[in-house]
């Protein structure tokens, strides 16, 4: 069924507590944890507890949860004290754009200068 945990999904395992992660925030619908290979001083992933392969699929099925993720991204930025300076939120979508984990996740990046356009 759409949104159900997938046995072979790394981020479903983090949600279930089967794979360790440095969790910084959790809500009824989301988990936020530090990226294992950080690209900036603040690099946190905000994920839905439900499984969808990418952000657009989540938006189509459960738009409120997508809103929860964005709201949480600001809380993460505030807690890491990067909200005032500015931070970037990114949904890599598709392998060609660098998506490697096919459970929707929002990257929250901050704490250094951020180039635009990104590479
Ligand atoms: P993406 O390339 O957009 O699919 O992002 C996946 C992100 O997950 C990458 O930035 C990885 O560094 C990160 N990642 C992979 N495994 C883990 C893990 N076990 N804990 C935390 N972050 C991870
Ligand atoms: Zn998953």
pLDDT tens-digit series, residues 55-65 = 999 999 999 99
CATH number at residue 45: 3.30.428.10
Q: How much of the chain is in helix, strand and coil states, percent to nearest 5?
A: 30, 25, 50
105 neighbors 47 (Cβ within 8 angstroms) = yes
Where helices occur in 27-97 by DSSP H, the ranges are 55-61, 63-79
Among 43, 103, 105, 107, the one annotated catalytic: 105
Give the tens place of pLDDT for each residue, 80-113: 999 999 999 999 999 999 999 999 999 999 999 9
The structural domain count of the chain equals: 1
Q: Structure tokens of 118?
A: 């990104």
Ligand 1 within 6 A of CB of 38? no
Note whether residue 22 is domain-resident.
Answer: yes
Q: 3-class SS at 12?
A: helix
pLDDT above 90 (res 69)? yes
Which residues constitute the domain of residue 86? Answer: 10-110
Note whether residue 44 is domain-resident.
Answer: yes
Note whether residue 95 is domain-resident.
Answer: yes
Residue nearest to atom 20 of ligand 1 (CA): 36
Note whether residue 4 is domain-resident.
Answer: no
Q: What is the pTM of this model?
A: 0.98
């Amino acid at each position: 069924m759409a949104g159900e945990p997938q046995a072979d999904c790394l981020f479903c395992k983090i949600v279930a507590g089967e794979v360790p992660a440095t969790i910084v925030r959790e809500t009824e619908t989301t988990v936020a944890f530090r990226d294992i290979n950080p690209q900036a001083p603040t690099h946190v992933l905000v994920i839905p507890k439900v499984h969808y392969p990418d952000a657009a699929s989540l938006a189509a099925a459960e738009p409120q949860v997508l809103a929860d993720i964005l709201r949480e991204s600001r809380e993460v930025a505030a807690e890491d004290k990067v909200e005032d300076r500015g931070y970037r939120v990114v949904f890599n979508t598709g392998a060609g754009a660098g998506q490697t984990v096919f459970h929707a996740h929002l990257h929250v990046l901050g704490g250094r200068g951020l180039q635009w356009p990104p590479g």
